[in-house]
């Protein structure tokens, strides 16, 4: 998730409804697309303090990017919904619990639209029933407050994936967008115990937001495959949140998954350069730089791209495939309310993305793997190694 939400400012880009698009829709009708990360619960919380009556998910929300109509239009099979909270939140254990509760209330209130996904087989059941699978996740382990007990409670509440940190370093894990802790090598003893407990429970370990040196430390100790649910390739765009090739190389042996994301400055070096003067080497706003000015700069960076966000995203997927192979890649939008890249403005745009893979001559088998087949296989392996 990016630091702050803002309304989308790019003009929606019309892509052709050609044979490739029809082929993509046919594939998505038969095979579920799994989006590995969406911060809709935080968007709801910011807009209405978690009031699901006032924030009606059944209507279009043009000010943001995700609602039930656009998830359906985008033919999303299962959506990972993140219980995100800012690292510096007061009472983080409580806020994490409130965010998990919000996901569960979304499932209950909109049971006609969402089907709870708690095991791989539920993804197929959701699609068979014409519903959107809802897979709860937690983004950032600040809510553990130094204890493993909340991790076990999160699992009992239905959480199945946990992102280890967000934009700030925690005492037990270094963030890609913050200074290292300095008291350990990127992963503390508690961090290693956290990974071991996640492996035992069958919780998916998500390395998005984790510093590359700490990613390596997690890969050294985990007994199960890992996920990087919303990232792009450092080789194509040198944002600190992107994943370098040396980590990608290790995913093949680990059996894990790198999932390409839609964040503009992760995709496009020009967009990254456009906001670079606002931030330090850790991706933090420099002194004197306001969040409002930064958001204006981000919006300006969405215009004048020499190709749209879908083309950039497919370039990153191609790089992932080259480095780690087609069995270890997926898609994680990181929709958080915007602004989003041209062509990827909202959750209705997934068929356009899949159509571009068709146009680039990706085989049906490879596309189905990227859409969700790899996610299901790797999740199954996580569960097979649990206990």
pLDDT in tens, 98-109: 999 999 999 999
User: How many Å apart are CA 299 and CA 304, to the nearest integer?
Assistant: 11
Residue 12 has pLDDT above 70, yes or no: no
Of 334, 346, 352, 356, the active-site residue reads 334
Of 23, 61, 155, 166, the active-site residue reads 166
**Residue 13 confidence (pLDDT):** 60
Of 230, 239, 316, 319, the active-site residue reads 230
Pairing of strands 33-38, 76-84: parallel
Q: Which residue, among 339, 365, 322, has the nearest Cα to 65 in the 3D structure?
A: 339
**Residue 50 confidence (pLDDT):** 67
To the query of whether residue 246 is one of the catalytic residues in this protein, the response is no
pLDDT per residue as tens digits for the range 295-331 = 888 788 887 788 999 999 999 999 999 999 999 999 9
**Residue 14 confidence (pLDDT):** 73
Question: Which band of pLDDT confidence, cut at 50, 70 and 90, is reported for residue 8?
Answer: very low
To the query of whether residue 316 is one of the catalytic residues in this protein, the response is no
To the query of whether residue 230 is one of the catalytic residues in this protein, the response is yes
* Domain spans in the chain, listed from the N-terminal domain onward: 22-268+305-384
**Residue 298 confidence (pLDDT):** 78
pLDDT per residue as tens digits for the range 327-355 = 999 999 999 987 899 999 999 999 999 99
Residue 275 has pLDDT above 90, yes or no: no
Lowest mean pLDDT among 47-61, 95-109, 164-178, 198-212: 47-61
Average per-residue pLDDT in the chain? 93
Of 23, 155, 181, 209, the active-site residue reads 209
To the query of whether residue 220 is one of the catalytic residues in this protein, the response is no
To the query of whether residue 39 is one of the catalytic residues in this protein, the response is yes
- 22-268+305-384, CATH topology level: TIM Barrel (3.20.20)
To the query of whether residue 37 is one of the catalytic residues in this protein, the response is yes
Average pLDDT over residues 213-238: 98
**Residue 305 confidence (pLDDT):** 85
Residue 365 has pLDDT above 80, yes or no: yes
To the query of whether residue 209 is one of the catalytic residues in this protein, the response is yes
Residue 129 has pLDDT above 60, yes or no: yes
Q: What's the predicted TM-score (pTM) here?
A: 0.94
Left (φ > 0), alpha (ψ -120 to 50) or beta: where does 334 sit? left
Of 35, 39, 345, 346, the active-site residue reads 39
Residue 11 has pLDDT above 60, yes or no: no
């Amino acid at each position: 998730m990016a630091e702050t939400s803002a309304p989308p400012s790019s003009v929606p880009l019309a892509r052709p409804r050609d044979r490739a698009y029809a082929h993509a829709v046919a594939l998505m009708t038969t095979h579920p697309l799994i989006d590995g990360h969406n911060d809709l619960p935080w968007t709801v919380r910011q807009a209405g303090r978690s009031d699901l009556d006032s924030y009606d998910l059944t209507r279009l929300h043009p000010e943001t990017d995700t609602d039930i109509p656009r998830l359906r239009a985008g033919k999303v099979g299962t959506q990972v919904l993140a219980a995100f909270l800012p690292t510096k939140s007061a009472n983080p254990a409580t806020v994490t619990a409130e965010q998990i509760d919000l996901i569960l209330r979304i499932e209950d209130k909109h049971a006609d639209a969402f089907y709870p996904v708690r095991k791989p087989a539920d993804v197929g059941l959701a699609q068979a029933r014409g519903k959107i699978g809802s897979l709860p996740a937690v983004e950032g382990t600040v809510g553990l407050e130094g204890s493993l007990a909340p991790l076990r409670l999160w699992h009992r509440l239905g959480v199945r994936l946990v992102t280890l940190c967000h934009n700030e370093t925690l005492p037990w894990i270094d963030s890609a967008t913050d200074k290292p802790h300095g008291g350990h090598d990127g992963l503390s003893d508690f961090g290693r115990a956290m990974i071991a407990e996640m492996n035992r429970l069958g919780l998916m370990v998500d390395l998005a937001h984790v510093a590359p040196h700490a990613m390596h430390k997690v890969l050294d100790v985990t007994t199960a495959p890992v996920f990087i649910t919303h990232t792009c390739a450092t080789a194509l765009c040198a944002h600190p949140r992107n994943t370098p090739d040396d980590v990608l190389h290790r995913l093949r042996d680990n059996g894990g998954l790198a999932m390409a994301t839609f964040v503009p400055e992760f995709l496009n070096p020009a967009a990254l350069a456009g906001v670079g003067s606002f931030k330090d080497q850790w991706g933090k706003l420099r002194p004197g730089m306001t969040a409002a000015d930064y958001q204006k700069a981000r919006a300006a960076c969405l215009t004048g791209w020499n190709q749209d966000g879908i083309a950039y995203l497919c370039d990153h997927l191609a790089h992932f495939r080259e480095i780690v192979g087609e069995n270890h890649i997926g898609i994680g939008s990181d929709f958080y309310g915007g602004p989003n890249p041209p062509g990827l403005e909202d959750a209705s745009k997934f068929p356009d993305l899949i159509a571009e893979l068709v146009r680039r001559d990706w085989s049906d088998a490879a596309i189905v793997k990227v859409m969700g087949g790899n996610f299901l296989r790797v999740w199954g392996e996580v569960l097979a190694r649990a206990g």
